[in-house]
Protein backbone atom coordinates (compact mmCIF):
# COMPACT_ATOMS: atom_id res chain seq x y z
CA UNK A 1 0.00 0.00 0.00
CA UNK A 2 1.35 3.38 -0.96
CA UNK A 3 1.82 5.73 1.95
CA UNK A 4 -0.65 8.53 1.50
CA UNK A 5 -1.25 11.47 3.78
CA UNK A 6 -3.48 10.50 6.67
CA UNK A 7 -7.00 11.89 6.61
CA UNK A 8 -7.54 11.49 10.35
CA UNK A 9 -4.68 12.39 12.60
CA UNK A 10 -4.36 12.78 16.35
CA UNK A 11 -1.16 14.38 17.58
CA UNK A 12 -0.15 14.21 21.20
CA UNK A 13 -3.83 14.27 22.12
CA UNK A 14 -4.76 14.45 25.83
CA UNK A 15 -7.99 15.10 27.58
CA UNK A 16 -8.42 15.79 31.26
CA UNK A 17 -12.04 16.32 32.25
CA UNK A 18 -13.11 19.07 34.63
CA UNK A 19 -13.34 16.56 37.45
CA UNK A 20 -9.68 15.65 37.01
CA UNK A 21 -10.10 12.34 35.17
CA UNK A 22 -7.36 11.90 32.61
CA UNK A 23 -9.39 10.23 29.91
CA UNK A 24 -6.82 10.45 27.17
CA UNK A 25 -3.09 10.48 27.64
CA UNK A 26 -0.91 11.73 24.76
CA UNK A 27 -2.51 9.75 22.00
CA UNK A 28 -0.93 9.59 18.56
CA UNK A 29 -2.86 8.00 15.80
CA UNK A 30 -3.52 8.33 12.09
CA UNK A 31 -5.82 6.79 9.55
CA UNK A 32 -5.10 6.85 5.85
CA UNK A 33 -7.45 6.70 2.85
CA UNK A 34 -8.78 3.20 2.30
CA UNK A 35 -7.85 2.13 5.79
CA UNK A 36 -10.02 0.82 8.62
CA UNK A 37 -8.63 1.51 12.07
CA UNK A 38 -10.29 -0.35 14.95
CA UNK A 39 -9.99 0.97 18.48
CA UNK A 40 -10.40 -1.67 21.14
CA UNK A 41 -10.42 -1.13 24.87
CA UNK A 42 -12.36 -1.75 28.04
CA UNK A 43 -15.15 0.54 29.19
CA UNK A 44 -13.74 3.90 30.08
CA UNK A 45 -10.55 3.42 28.08
CA UNK A 46 -11.06 6.67 26.17
CA UNK A 47 -12.46 5.59 22.82
CA UNK A 48 -15.51 7.84 22.86
CA UNK A 49 -13.39 10.69 24.17
CA UNK A 50 -11.12 10.33 21.15
CA UNK A 51 -14.04 10.50 18.74
CA UNK A 52 -15.57 13.46 20.59
CA UNK A 53 -12.27 15.28 20.25
CA UNK A 54 -12.19 14.65 16.51
CA UNK A 55 -15.66 16.16 16.24
CA UNK A 56 -14.72 19.15 18.40
CA UNK A 57 -17.50 18.31 20.86
CA UNK A 58 -14.95 18.86 23.63
CA UNK A 59 -11.71 20.83 23.54
CA UNK A 60 -8.45 18.90 23.94
CA UNK A 61 -6.22 19.52 26.96
CA UNK A 62 -3.11 19.07 24.83
CA UNK A 63 -2.47 18.14 21.25
CA UNK A 64 -4.37 18.51 18.02
CA UNK A 65 -6.81 16.61 15.83
CA UNK A 66 -6.57 16.99 12.10
CA UNK A 67 -9.16 16.02 9.56
CA UNK A 68 -7.93 16.24 5.98
CA UNK A 69 -5.05 18.31 7.33
CA UNK A 70 -7.38 20.85 8.94
CA UNK A 71 -6.93 21.62 12.64
CA UNK A 72 -10.27 20.71 14.18
CA UNK A 73 -10.14 23.25 17.00
CA UNK A 74 -9.02 26.09 14.75
CA UNK A 75 -11.53 25.61 11.95
CA UNK A 76 -14.18 23.14 13.07
CA UNK A 77 -16.71 24.10 10.41
CA UNK A 78 -14.22 23.50 7.61
CA UNK A 79 -12.92 20.27 9.15
CA UNK A 80 -16.40 18.83 9.62
CA UNK A 81 -17.05 19.06 5.90
CA UNK A 82 -14.73 16.08 5.53
CA UNK A 83 -16.09 13.73 8.15
CA UNK A 84 -19.16 11.55 8.61
CA UNK A 85 -20.20 10.26 11.98
CA UNK A 86 -22.16 7.23 13.13
CA UNK A 87 -22.92 7.21 16.82
CA UNK A 88 -23.54 4.31 19.12
CA UNK A 89 -27.28 4.64 19.46
CA UNK A 90 -28.81 6.72 16.72
CA UNK A 91 -32.28 7.79 17.79
CA UNK A 92 -32.90 10.32 14.99
CA UNK A 93 -36.24 12.11 14.59
CA UNK A 94 -38.88 9.61 15.63
CA UNK A 95 -41.74 11.40 13.90
CA UNK A 96 -39.86 11.63 10.63
CA UNK A 97 -39.80 8.83 8.13
CA UNK A 98 -36.50 7.20 7.27
CA UNK A 99 -36.37 9.20 4.05
CA UNK A 100 -37.14 12.49 5.83
CA UNK A 101 -34.35 11.86 8.32
CA UNK A 102 -31.94 10.97 5.57
CA UNK A 103 -32.95 14.02 3.56
CA UNK A 104 -32.47 16.41 6.47
CA UNK A 105 -29.04 15.10 7.39
CA UNK A 106 -27.98 14.91 3.76
CA UNK A 107 -28.75 18.61 3.47
CA UNK A 108 -26.79 19.32 6.64
CA UNK A 109 -23.94 17.39 5.06
CA UNK A 110 -24.07 19.70 2.07
CA UNK A 111 -26.01 17.46 -0.32
CA UNK A 112 -28.81 19.78 -1.20
CA UNK A 113 -30.09 18.70 -4.60
CA UNK A 114 -30.81 15.01 -4.27
CA UNK A 115 -34.00 13.41 -5.54
CA UNK A 116 -36.12 10.84 -3.74
CA UNK A 117 -34.71 7.99 -5.76
CA UNK A 118 -31.20 8.83 -4.61
CA UNK A 119 -32.25 8.56 -0.98
CA UNK A 120 -33.90 5.24 -1.74
CA UNK A 121 -30.72 3.98 -3.43
CA UNK A 122 -28.64 4.67 -0.34
CA UNK A 123 -31.19 2.98 1.90
CA UNK A 124 -31.23 -0.03 -0.41
CA UNK A 125 -27.47 -0.13 -0.24
CA UNK A 126 -27.58 -0.55 3.55
CA UNK A 127 -30.34 -3.17 2.95
CA UNK A 128 -33.05 -1.40 4.83
CA UNK A 129 -36.38 -2.99 3.88
CA UNK A 130 -38.15 -1.14 1.10
CA UNK A 131 -41.34 -0.77 3.09
CA UNK A 132 -39.49 1.04 5.87
CA UNK A 133 -38.37 3.89 3.65
CA UNK A 134 -41.48 5.95 4.25
CA UNK A 135 -42.18 4.70 7.76
CA UNK A 136 -41.72 6.74 10.89
CA UNK A 137 -38.39 6.00 12.53
CA UNK A 138 -39.92 5.61 16.00
CA UNK A 139 -41.28 2.25 14.86
CA UNK A 140 -37.80 1.06 13.87
CA UNK A 141 -35.73 -1.59 15.62
CA UNK A 142 -32.26 -0.69 16.75
CA UNK A 143 -30.72 -2.44 13.75
CA UNK A 144 -32.91 -0.54 11.34
CA UNK A 145 -31.99 2.75 12.97
CA UNK A 146 -28.32 1.82 12.81
CA UNK A 147 -28.64 1.09 9.10
CA UNK A 148 -30.27 4.43 8.61
CA UNK A 149 -27.45 5.99 10.63
CA UNK A 150 -24.86 4.57 8.29
CA UNK A 151 -26.84 5.59 5.24
CA UNK A 152 -26.62 9.14 6.61
CA UNK A 153 -22.86 8.74 6.78
CA UNK A 154 -22.73 7.27 3.27
CA UNK A 155 -24.81 9.97 1.68
CA UNK A 156 -22.52 12.71 2.98
CA UNK A 157 -19.72 11.01 1.06
CA UNK A 158 -16.98 12.47 3.25
CA UNK A 159 -13.39 11.18 3.05
CA UNK A 160 -13.30 10.33 6.77
CA UNK A 161 -15.79 8.23 8.74
CA UNK A 162 -15.94 8.04 12.53
CA UNK A 163 -17.96 5.27 14.13
CA UNK A 164 -18.51 4.78 17.85
CA UNK A 165 -19.47 1.19 18.61
CA UNK A 166 -21.70 0.97 15.56
CA UNK A 167 -22.40 -2.75 15.93
CA UNK A 168 -23.34 -2.65 19.61
CA UNK A 169 -26.71 -4.33 20.04
CA UNK A 170 -26.98 -5.55 16.49
CA UNK A 171 -27.84 -9.17 15.81
CA UNK A 172 -25.07 -11.20 14.13
CA UNK A 173 -26.59 -10.96 10.68
CA UNK A 174 -27.12 -7.22 10.93
CA UNK A 175 -23.60 -6.77 12.25
CA UNK A 176 -22.23 -8.81 9.34
CA UNK A 177 -24.12 -6.69 6.84
CA UNK A 178 -22.87 -3.63 8.58
CA UNK A 179 -19.28 -4.69 8.21
CA UNK A 180 -19.82 -5.46 4.55
CA UNK A 181 -20.88 -1.89 3.97
CA UNK A 182 -17.86 -0.72 5.90
CA UNK A 183 -15.69 -2.79 3.58
CA UNK A 184 -17.28 -1.10 0.59
CA UNK A 185 -16.59 2.33 2.04
CA UNK A 186 -13.02 1.33 2.63
CA UNK A 187 -12.70 0.24 -0.99
CA UNK A 188 -13.99 3.64 -2.02
CA UNK A 189 -10.97 5.09 -0.26
CA UNK A 190 -12.53 6.38 2.94
CA UNK A 191 -10.44 6.61 6.08
CA UNK A 192 -12.44 4.84 8.77
CA UNK A 193 -11.94 5.05 12.53
CA UNK A 194 -14.19 2.74 14.50
CA UNK A 195 -14.36 2.03 18.19
CA UNK A 196 -15.68 -1.40 19.08
CA UNK A 197 -15.79 -4.14 21.70
CA UNK A 198 -16.00 -6.85 19.07
CA UNK A 199 -12.49 -8.31 18.88
CA UNK A 200 -13.34 -10.86 16.21
CA UNK A 201 -14.86 -8.39 13.82
CA UNK A 202 -12.04 -5.93 14.55
CA UNK A 203 -9.57 -8.54 13.38
CA UNK A 204 -11.70 -9.32 10.34
CA UNK A 205 -12.25 -5.77 9.13
CA UNK A 206 -9.42 -3.78 10.63
CA UNK A 207 -6.36 -2.89 8.61
CA UNK A 208 -4.94 -1.77 11.91
CA UNK A 209 -6.12 -2.51 15.41
CA UNK A 210 -5.20 -0.44 18.44
CA UNK A 211 -5.84 -1.36 22.04
CA UNK A 212 -6.47 1.45 24.49
CA UNK A 213 -6.05 1.28 28.20
CA UNK A 214 -6.61 4.15 30.60
CA UNK A 215 -6.36 6.69 27.85
CA UNK A 216 -3.20 5.31 26.24
CA UNK A 217 -2.72 3.40 23.08
CA UNK A 218 -0.91 0.39 24.54
CA UNK A 219 -0.73 -1.75 21.41
CA UNK A 220 -1.09 -1.37 17.70
CA UNK A 221 -1.01 -4.16 15.12
CA UNK A 222 -1.44 -4.26 11.36
CA UNK A 223 -3.55 -6.85 9.56
CA UNK A 224 -0.34 -8.62 8.45
CA UNK A 225 1.01 -8.86 11.97
CA UNK A 226 -2.27 -10.24 13.25
CA UNK A 227 -2.07 -13.18 10.87
CA UNK A 228 0.57 -14.64 13.11
CA UNK A 229 -0.72 -13.44 16.48
CA UNK A 230 -3.82 -14.14 18.50
CA UNK A 231 -5.59 -10.81 19.00
CA UNK A 232 -7.85 -12.23 21.69
CA UNK A 233 -4.92 -13.35 23.72
CA UNK A 234 -3.12 -10.04 23.34
CA UNK A 235 -6.23 -8.17 24.35
CA UNK A 236 -6.86 -10.25 27.44
CA UNK A 237 -3.22 -10.06 28.45
CA UNK A 238 -3.30 -6.28 28.26
CA UNK A 239 -6.48 -6.09 30.22
CA UNK A 240 -5.12 -8.38 32.92
CA UNK A 241 -1.85 -6.55 33.32
CA UNK A 242 -1.28 -4.08 36.12
CA UNK A 243 -2.86 -0.63 35.93
CA UNK A 244 -0.67 1.81 34.06
CA UNK A 245 -0.90 4.55 36.56
CA UNK A 246 -0.42 4.38 40.26
Cβ partners under 8 Å of residue 38, min gap 6: 194, 195, 196, 202, 205, 206, 208, 209, 210
84 binds Mg ion (CB under 5 A): no
- DSSP state letters, 53-81: HHTTSS--SEEEEEETTEETTT-HHHHGG
Q: Binding partner of residue 95 among ligand ATP, Mg ion, another protein, none, CB under 5 to 8 Å per kind?
A: another protein
- Binding another protein (rule: CB under 8 A), the pick from 12, 21, 73, 91 is 91
- Nearer to ligand ATP among residue 48 and residue 101 (C-beta): 48
- Binding Mg ion (rule: CB under 5 A), the pick from 14, 48, 101, 196 is 48
21 binds ligand ATP (CB under 6 A): yes
User: Chain-centre distance of CA 36, in angstroms?
Assistant: 9
Write down the number of H helices and E strands in the chain. Answer: 9, 10
110 binds another protein (CB under 8 A): yes
Contact (Cβ atoms closer than 8 angstroms) between residue 146 and residue 170: yes
- Nearer to ligand ATP among residue 136 and residue 197 (C-beta): 197
Site residues for another protein, 48-87, by CB under 8 A, read 52, 55, 57-58, 77-78, 80-85, 87
Cβ partners under 8 Å of residue 65, min gap 6: 8, 9, 10, 11, 13, 53, 54, 56, 71, 72, 73
211 binds ligand ATP (CB under 6 A): no
Contact (Cβ atoms closer than 8 angstroms) between residue 86 and residue 150: yes
Q: Which stretch binds ligand ATP (CB under 6 A): 19-27, 30-38, 95-103, 104-112?
A: 19-27
- Nearer to ligand ATP among residue 108 and residue 232 (C-beta): 232
- The number of CA neighbours under 13 Å toward the Cβ of 111 is 20
Look at residues 168, 212, 175, 191 and name the one whose alpha carbon lies nearest to residue 67. Answer: 191
90 binds another protein (CB under 8 A): yes
- Nearer to another protein among residue 18 and residue 224 (C-beta): 18
Minimum CB separation of residue 44 from ligand ATP in Å reads 4
101 binds ligand ATP (CB under 6 A): no
Site residues for ligand ATP, 28-57, by CB under 6 A, read 41, 43-49
In angstroms, the CA 45 to CA 147 distance is 26
Site residues (CB under 6 A) for ligand ATP? Answer: 17, 19, 21, 23, 41, 43-49
Amino acid sequence: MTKQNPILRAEDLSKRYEDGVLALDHLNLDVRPGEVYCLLGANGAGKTTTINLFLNFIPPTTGTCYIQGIDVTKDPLEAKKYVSFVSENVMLYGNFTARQNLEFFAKLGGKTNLIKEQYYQVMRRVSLQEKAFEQRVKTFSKGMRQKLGISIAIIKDAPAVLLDEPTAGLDPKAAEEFLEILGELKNEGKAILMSTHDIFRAKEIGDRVGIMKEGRLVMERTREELQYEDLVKIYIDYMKSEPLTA
